[in-house]
């Protein structure tokens, strides 16, 4: 089974770190984000990875090469200009169209989400796309009031269990390519059409570790953690 990692973005919010290398090659505790991802994928038996690259693509070629030294097979699809998330997936159609299923993930995510749970659900249903969903963590502290508007409690950045967000991890059937434009973002051009046709399914993951490395602050926060333990890696 194959996984496509979307790794072509500029990573503007992680500057100056991304001035010399693309975001997936930013190190977390001495190891690039993309290598953490590869180890997580291998845990679920995925040993063929396609990288959708653009910005500073040569850095991926230099570090990862064919993937042999990491125990994985790596192929590349190159964006000569930014294609957006939908366009990047469409650009890899020739490598994925004959797969029964394939995973797609954003190149800035660290997680221990169980990919086999997604596959098990997909095997029993007939949707074209499956999106991993996680409860939203509030970016702010929450203030609680009583009926007199007296402040009774402060809760620092709680998990908002009733609000679910897109975790940037997808499982697709090849039929999804019929919904993807040559250029554009899948959140705006792809998912709305799939949802309208009732071809999209959400899989909720609660009590799992999930973190998107979007900013310097995100990087600093995750580096305080025991990453191997959080990701369920040896």
Instruction: Write down the pLDDT at residue 205.
Output: 95
The tens digit of pLDDT for each residue in 185-217 reads 999 989 999 999 999 999 999 989 999 898 898
17 pLDDT more than 80: no
Instruction: Write down the pLDDT at residue 77.
Output: 95
Instruction: Write down the pLDDT at residue 168.
Output: 95
**Averaged over 121-147, what is the pLDDT?**
93
The pLDDT mean for the chain works out to 92
Domain that residue 195 falls in: 2-231
Instruction: Write down the pLDDT at residue 6.
Output: 95
Q: In angstroms, rounded to a whole number, what is the distance separating the alpha carbons of residues 196 and 174?
A: 18
pLDDT band at 14 (very low <50, low <70, confident <90, very high): confident
Question: Burial code of 181-217, b = ≥16 C-beta within 10 A, e = fewer?
Answer: bebbebeebbbeebeeeebbbebebeebbbbbbbeee
The active-site residue, picked from 68, 157, 188, 196, is 157
Q: In angstroms, rounded to a whole number, what is the distance separating the alpha carbons of residues 139 and 142?
A: 9
pLDDT band at 129 (very low <50, low <70, confident <90, very high): very high
pTM over 0.85: yes
Q: What are phi and psi of 42, to 5 degrees?
A: -60, -35
8 pLDDT more than 90: no
Contact of 103 with 92, CB cutoff 8 Å: no
Alpha helix positions (H), 147-215 = 191-196
Instruction: Write down the pLDDT at residue 184.
Output: 92
pLDDT band at 35 (very low <50, low <70, confident <90, very high): very high
Total domains, the chain: 1
Q: What angle do CA 30, 35, 36 make, to 5 degrees?
A: 80
13 pLDDT more than 90: no
Tell me the helix, strand and coil percentages in the chain, rounded to 5: 30, 30, 40
pLDDT band at 45 (very low <50, low <70, confident <90, very high): very high
Instruction: Write down the pLDDT at residue 24.
Output: 93
Q: Residue 73 sits in a domain of what CATH number?
A: 3.90.550.10
CA-based Rg of the chain, rounded to a whole angstrom? Answer: 19
11 pLDDT more than 80: no
Q: What are phi and psi of 111, to 5 degrees?
A: -160, 165
Annotated catalytic, 68? no
Q: 49 or 223: whose pLDDT is higher?
A: 49
The tens digit of pLDDT for each residue in 137-191 reads 888 899 999 998 889 999 988 888 889 999 999 999 999 999 999 999 999 989 9
Q: In angstroms, rounded to a whole number, what is the distance separating the alpha carbons of residues 67 and 60?
A: 10
């Amino acid at each position: 089974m194959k996984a496509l990692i979307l790794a072509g973005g500029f990573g503007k919010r992680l500057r100056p770190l991304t001035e010399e290398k693309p975001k997936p090659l930013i190190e977390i505790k001495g190891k690039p984000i993309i290598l953490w991802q590869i180890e997580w994928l291998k845990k679920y038996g995925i040993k063929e990875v396609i990288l959708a690259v653009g910005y500073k693509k040569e850095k991926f070629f230099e570090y990862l090469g064919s993937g042999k030294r990491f125990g994985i097979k790596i192929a590349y699809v190159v964006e000569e200009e930014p294609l957006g998330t939908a366009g990047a997936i469409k650009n890899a159609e020739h490598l994925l169209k004959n797969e029964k299923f394939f995973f797609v993930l954003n190149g800035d995510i660290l997680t221990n989400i169980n990919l086999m749970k997604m596959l098990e659900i997909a095997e029993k249903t007939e949707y074209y796309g499956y999106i991993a969903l996680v409860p939203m963590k509030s970016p702010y502290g929450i203030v609680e009031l009583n009926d007199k508007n007296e402040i009774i409690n402060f809760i620092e950045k709680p998990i908002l269990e009733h609000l679910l967000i897109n975790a940037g991890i997808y499982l697709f059937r090849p039929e999804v390519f019929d919904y993807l434009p040559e250029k554009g973002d899948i959140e705006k051009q792809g998912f709305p059409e799939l949802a309208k046709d009732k071809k999209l399914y959400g899989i909720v993951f609660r009590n799992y570790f999930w973190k998107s490395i979007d900013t310097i602050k995100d990087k600093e926060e995750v580096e305080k953690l025991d990453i191997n333990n959080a990701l369920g890696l040896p």
